[in-house]
Amino acid sequence: MKISIITINRNNDSGLQKTLNSVISQSASDFEHIIIDGASTDNSVETIKKYAADSVIGNRVHWVSEPDNGVYCAMNKGVVRARGEYLLFLNSGDYLFDSAVIDKIITRLDSDIVYGSLLLSDNDTSKVVSYADKLNFTYFLSGTIPHPATFIRRELFDNQLYSECYKISSDWEFFMLAICRYNASYKRVDDVITVFDNYGISSDPANAELIEAEHKDSIGRNFRHFLTAYEEMKMLVEYKTRIDKFKGNRWLKLGYKLGLFKQYKYL
């Protein structure tokens, strides 16, 4: 089995149906679909039962509906059940971009982590978001890669599962540790993999403080000696971001011409 698609759901029957429809429509068949439902009380379980009975995909569907301790607990349940060489987390509400996604990616799974782009969907608007080619500790200070568009080699979870102590940031932590501590290989592909439901908790600006607190805690636990450096580097990254926004300012342009910023390579 090449790929395990893992879907987490709780009381999101309408979103779940979009997810399942995108999976069953795939032209490729070398994958299994694992559905972890958190004891939903809406119509989700009936939707899953109907899906699992479908003659096209039913023998490749494995599911459970039971209480859990949050999204990362549910994702870890999926990891433990997975038999595929690579895992893709496609949670309810998110769906594969088109019917050829798995067919196109399956021959290019030759690194530990292979990630593509997301199509963010928000009300009547949408935009494609792509990610960096180079991933390192500095990148993870202010960014991550998208788990709904990332194929992860199953063996990486032998080093660690998702931390269940965080509400939002465990996938960020997983990617940071896999690449920066365990030297996992990675590759970016140009394809749009997934249409992302932009209503999740991590997408809510109100959770920015929680995300920052979880990131800081993770750095303190995993890279304790770098915690002070992390805070300083994050300030520099934020400063550079603000500078980049003002590079079109005419006074800055004059400063460039006068050579005032040559010693500051980040300007």
List Cβ neighbours of 266 (8 Å cut-off, separation of 6 or more): 236, 240, 243
Q: Are residues 182 and 266 in the same domain?
A: no
- pLDDT at position 123: 72
User: What domain count does the chain have?
Assistant: 2
- pLDDT at position 223: 83
Taking residue 124's Cβ as centre, other Cβ atoms within 10 Å add up to: 5
Residue 265 pLDDT > 60 = no
Residue 233 pLDDT > 80 = no
Average pLDDT, the chain: 89
- pLDDT at position 225: 72
Distance CA 2, CA 106 (A): 8
- pLDDT at position 85: 98
232 vs 60, residue with greater confidence: 60
Residue 173 pLDDT > 90 = yes
Q: Are residues 72 and 151 in the same domain?
A: yes
The residue count of the chain comes to: 267
pLDDT-derived band at 204 (thresholds 50, 70, 90) equals low
Q: What is the residue whose two structure tokens read 């009975």?
A: 53
Is 215 domain-assigned? no
pLDDT tens for 105-127 read 999 999 999 999 999 987 778 89
| 171: nearest Cα among 75, 54, 60, 58 | 75
Q: Are residues 183 and 242 in the same domain?
A: no
Q: Are residues 114 and 173 in the same domain?
A: yes
pLDDT tens for 3-27 read 999 999 999 999 999 999 999 999 9
pLDDT-derived band at 216 (thresholds 50, 70, 90) equals confident
- Tell me the β-bridge partners of 186: 113
Q: Are residues 189 and 244 in the same domain?
A: no
Residue 130 pLDDT > 70 = yes
Is 210 domain-assigned? no
| 91: nearest Cα among 142, 43, 150 | 150
pLDDT tens for 45-101 read 999 999 999 999 999 999 999 999 999 999 999 999 999 999 999 999 999 999 999
E strand spans, 2-102 = 3-9, 31-37, 61-65, 86-89, 95-96
- Tell me the β-bridge partners of 4: 32, 87
Q: What percent of the chain has pLDDT over 90?
A: 70
Q: Are residues 198 and 227 in the same domain?
A: no
Residue 266 pLDDT > 50 = no
By the 10 Å C-beta count (0-12 exposed, 13-18 middle, 19+ buried), 205 is classed as exposed
Q: Which domain holds residue 29?
A: 3-205
pLDDT-derived band at 200 (thresholds 50, 70, 90) equals low
Is 256 domain-assigned? yes
Is 212 domain-assigned? no
